[in-house]
Structure 1
Amino acid sequence: MGLGLVVGVTYALYSWSAHRLMGRGVGRAAAMGSVFGLGPTRISPSTATTLTLAGPAVAAVLTVLVVGERLPPIAWLGIAGIGLSLLILALAPSGREAEPRAVPDVAAAP
């Protein structure tokens, strides 16, 4: 849930920043592209995708808590499935291998 709130806040910041740029005369596509382009330089693509996919579940829970919306059981089942998937992803090994060792350049050797 915490990461979902981060997603919501960052989306709001993204929208606000793009709006400010457009208000200063920057074209719509350029403003949105430049702001959106900052994200991948800070986090991995898999993390970005995971956070993006968690957003709707967090939004649904917030509508229940803040607005008093009532969700049907199938919606809660879907939210539980998303939560379980995120838990599995969080606990899974990263799969990253150690840095490859430098191979000496035999052709350049004296």
Structure 2
Amino acid sequence: MSEKNATMTHLKQRRAKIEADAAEIERQVYDLETSLLTDHSSGGNVLRGFELALAQSKQQAQKRVKPFKTEERTFSVSSASSQVVEELAAEAEQIRTTASGRLAKAPTTFK
């Protein structure tokens, strides 16, 4: 019986480690994606297109830089357990609540 307990304990520890590793990888993807969407937006990128990079002058390109939307997070949105999915769900709930006439919840902040 103690061998089964030891095996179960080992498996639980291994599962916790895998979940922690997955959460860390998702955080890294989120951070890198944020960097891609903000730092490189004036020169263009795969996610937002290269129209700004083709602008006639750097000044024109800087004027056209717009903040990105949560929906533009292509990589983060592909994971069901990503914080972006939670953000989108919170936004959708707030929209539903506001549209139904009920008092909207305060926006949830994420790390």
Q: What TM bracket, shorter-length normalisation?
A: under 0.3
TM-score by length of 2: 0.27
Larger RCO, structure (CA 8 Å, separation 6 or more): 1
Point out the structure with the larger helix share.
Answer: 1
